Chain A
């Protein structure tokens, strides 16, 4: 370890900062406790929030701790190419959902994404989506809770149980008190805290390695020493001609289609966790602007979350990323005898090494904020889908509104309890979690084909959508089962049906599995739709593009118009990609 970079312990100032942050988060919930009078208040914020608030919440709900830590880790592994997950892998889809899909989500008055599927298609398609989504949100908040508890234990020696229970209790309290409004308000606060907690980390880190040019020189030297092209860490597009020429191990087609189209559109355009934020907006224009407003900070977030990982790799000469521990103690070595780094500790290690007391408390509060915003996002989406799409549909249809408001609160408690249980399952049986996440990936991969056909091709039928989704999910499982990333053994990594193709990297395999699933869903949906009876046009008004009048924009100035925002964002995106090509 480089001299002068020893980690510091926490002092009273750090604890005070974290404590004050907790107090404010709870205080927001407390202030809103009387505002939750109907189920619409609790689940959709009464559709009353301005676009800048829903926009920042849209971004923040996705910015969980796993995202912050995972992007730092990928930054250390793949360098600036990790930005693809933000640029090509998020921004175009965010523009698409805002400009073209929000008119149907918001305009149809559906209260959730599964409910839109019910309106557009049929009950079974909604049920498939609602059940898989509800299970997924609970497990993903469980997994991130586990990751958080384990990290706090490792970094600060805090008890795993205490970290998990306290953070869960805080999220539970503020959602119970103030529903979605509370979650969204806190997401906005957490957004600013994350920015103010991580920006100085990048500033101090860059200062330490001699600025961007210093970082570039150090990373080039490292890349050459490892036998890669010198621009491997500092160029996003160079070497994408072949999987063997870049660190991610994919080629441009797999990246653009797999990540940029299938996975990105599948998440940003169909996931209720993010779409719910836009549904809470006060008007159609605000709902459409929500993802567009989020897209601008999203574009520059790589500098906030990816750069710390890249800096951690070279700071102080040899970097500060600790090695993974081998089962028998000592650093873990790979097959070639090289030390295996624990990349997930890249960003936390930067916090611990670069910040003095004071700033350290702020950085940890930012980390906790990212965890809480991600968890609250999952839980508010879960309680809504549970109450509206499952409980109201299958358990009790015609109760009064107060009953559903009460059920929503119960679902919040149960959802968090299940998430805590999932965190302990994750701690005890890592394989089960890995398997579940794999299944979720299969279910998610084909989703966008269903929504796309549903919104833009009026001939699509409910049977087509349902069988398309099912076959797309199966296709993902089959593709994954027939392929394997290089160096892996058959099992949870794939190849369980025999190995037909080997990918350079797991990422390459994931992208191609997604492409396969999407294409299958797309084709099967069309075929089954052609063979089944379509719904009459008059039933599809407001649900399908060709049958819905364009939403009139009430924007006063041209710069408030969604289309203008979209074009500006695209131009900025292009410029960023050219700079870091």
Chain B
């Protein structure tokens, strides 16, 4: 075992961003924002940015997977 304990940092990053992404998207869909400038009202920003974060998180998890399989083999 090395000083990284076989932990691929892309896994926690991917998981965190996917989780936060889902939370923001759902929250933005259910709860339209009532304050802030027009552009952020209606929960739009929560929803769209949540989706962006989700995509990034899933991508991180996807690139981490082949690396893990290589180690396992």
Give the B-binding residues of A (Cβ under 8 A).
Answer: 4-6, 8, 13, 16-17, 20-21, 24, 27-28, 31-37, 40-41, 44-46, 48-49, 53, 178-181, 185, 188-189, 192-193, 196, 200, 204, 207-208, 353-359, 362
Contact = CB atoms under 8 A, between A and B. Distances in A.
B52 to A, nearest CB: 8
Interface extent on B, as a size class?
35 or more
A24 B24 contact: no
Interface in B11-52: 12-13, 15-17, 19-20, 23-24, 27-28, 31, 33-41, 43, 45-46, 49-50, 52
A200 B13 CA distance: 19
Contacts of B5: 31-35, 178, 181
Nearest to A32: B5
Contact of A185 (B9, B24, B28): B9
- Looking at chain A's contact residues, the main secondary structure is helix
B46 A192 contact: no
Contacts of A53: 9
B71 interface: no
A267 to B, nearest CB: 26
A17 B39 contact: no
B2 A17 contact: no
Contacts of A4: 36-38
11 contacts: A31-B12, A46-B2, A46-B4, A53-B9, A179-B3, A196-B52, A200-B45, A207-B39, A358-B24, A358-B27, A362-B24
A568 to B, nearest CB: 23
A204 B40 contact: yes
Contacts of A41: 3
- List the 6 shortest-distance A-B pairs measured between CB atoms, nearest first: A356-B33, A46-B3, A35-B5, A41-B3, A358-B46, A185-B9
A255 B62 CA distance: 45
Contact of A354 (B16, B20, B36): B36
B2 to A, nearest CB: 5
A116 to B, nearest CB: 21
Contacts of A36: 3
Contacts of B9: 28, 53, 185, 188-189
A356 B36 contact: yes
B3 A45 contact: yes
Nearest to B44: A356
